[in-house]
A = this chain, B = another copy of it.
Amino acid sequence: MIESANFQRLIKSLPGITKEEESVILESFNVRQLEPKEYFCREGEICKQLGYVDKGCLSYFQVLADGRKSIIHFAFEDWWTGDLESFLTREPGHYNWQAIEPVELICISRSKFDILRNEYTAFNGLFYRKTQTAYIKAMAKAAKDKSETAEEKYLRMLEEQPQIIQRVPHYDVAAYLGIAPESLSRIRNKLSKEK
């Protein structure tokens, strides 16, 4: 039984959930700890679990042909992680999820996930709403990413996700903004002089 207060609150808040369903759902998950730099899933391997971030943060990235990392986003507390495509298709994935800090994930395997989705409407609804919200956010982000300069992206990141700058190493922030670490240093210096 998962003891995380945040996760328990999430499950108890599901519309129409009964006490019995709550217990089954909480018993279907298991806790997994990751050290910094440890992978939750890796490109070329099948992603066998989805995980709720109870503590810590991870990066979600691809390695480009030239060896550079392209970070798609970071996951902090209360985010879900895992390579959804690989998890659902049971085919090797194209993405990596790696811990930046010590991480505590609340994980579910594919077989338990299928049982919950097929037999527990409340859980199915949760998963569905999360995917829908993630899609809407991804569209909004795509529209902005396409049109902004690196400096504008940096300023938006500071405003929308200040945790990134507080918790993520400089070179990972650069890989997220799609620029070289030196370019990120220049932007930070310029902005600190303008203050």
Q: Which residues of A contact B (CB under 8 A)?
A: 61-62, 64, 68, 70, 72, 84-85, 88, 94-95, 128, 131-132, 134-136, 138-143, 145-147, 178
Complex alpha-carbon distance, A76 and B146, angstroms: 21
Asked if A178 and B146 make an inter-chain contact with CB atoms under 8 angstroms apart, the answer reads yes
The secondary-structure label for the interface of chain A is helix
Partner of A146, one of B139, B145, B147: B145
In the complex, which residue of chain B has the Cβ closest to the Cβ of A94? B140
Complex: A104 Cα to B142 Cα, angstroms: 27
Q: Which residues of B contact A138 (CB under 8 A)?
A: 135, 138-139, 142
Q: Give chain B residues whose Cβ lies under 8 Å from the Cβ of A94.
A: 140
Q: A135-B135, A136-B84 are in contact. Are A64 and B141 (CB under 8 A)?
A: no
CB < 8 Å: which of B68, B85, B131, B141 contacts A142? B141
Give 15 new A-B contacts, CB below 8 A, not counting A70-B146, A95-B143: A70-B143, A72-B143, A84-B136, A85-B140, A88-B132, A94-B140, A95-B139, A128-B128, A131-B131, A135-B138, A142-B142, A142-B145, A145-B145, A145-B146, A146-B178
